C-alpha cells in the first residue's frame, strides 16, 4: 500500500467535507436532498480524520518515531479545526435549510 496516499486522501476528503456545507448553504436545494449532502459532509470529515489515524499507525508500525513526533502536533491541531469547522458549517446549513422549509 502506498501510505503517502493516506495524506492526500485525507486532504481531499477534508476539503470536500468543508465544501459541501458551503454549497448547501449558498445554493437553494430541496431540504431532503440538502440534509443528505450535509450528512455526507460529516462522513467525509470522519474519513479524513480516520485516514490520518491510519497514517499515524503506519508510522508506529515502521517505528519512525521522529516523523511521528514531528507531525503529531499538526495532525491533532488540524483535525480538531477540521471537525470544529465542519460541525459549524453543517449546523449553519441545517439552520438555513430548515428555514427554507417554512
How far apart (Å, rounded) are the C-alpha atoms in residues 10 and 27? 26
Name 100's Cβ contacts closer than 8 Å, sequence gap at least 6. 28, 31
Convert the pLDDT of each residue in 5-47 to its tens digit.
999 999 999 999 999 999 988 887 787 888 899 999 999 999 9
Around Cβ 18, how many Cβ atoms within 10 Å? Answer: 18
Alpha carbon of 96 to those of 2, 18, 39, 76, 87: distances in Å? Answer: 41, 16, 15, 30, 14
Residue 41: all three cell numbers together: 459532509
Cα dihedral 102, 25, 50, 73 sign: negative
How far apart (Å, rounded) are the C-alpha atoms in residues 35 and 37? 5
% of the chain exceeding 70 in pLDDT: 96
Residue 63 — pLDDT band, cuts 50, 70, 90? very high
- pTM of the complete model beyond 0.85: yes
Convert the pLDDT of each residue in 65-83 to its tens digit.
999 999 999 999 999 999 9
Amino acid at each position: 500500500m502506498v501510505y503517502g496516499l493516506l495524506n492526500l486522501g485525507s486532504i481531499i476528503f477534508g476539503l470536500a467535507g468543508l465544501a459541501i456545507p458551503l454549497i448547501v448553504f449558498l445554493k437553494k436545494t430541496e431540504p431532503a436532498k440538502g440534509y443528505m449532502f450535509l450528512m455526507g459532509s460529516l462522513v467525509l470529515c470522519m474519513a479524513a480524520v480516520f485516514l490520518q489515524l491510519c497514517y499515524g499507525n503506519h508510522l508506529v508500525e515502521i517505528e519512525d518515531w521522529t516523523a511521528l513526533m514531528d507531525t503529531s502536533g499538526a495532525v491533532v491541531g488540524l483535525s480538531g479545526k477540521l471537525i470544529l469547522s465542519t460541525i459549524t458549517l453543517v449546523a449553519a446549513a441545517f439552520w438555513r435549510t430548515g428555514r427554507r422549509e417554512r
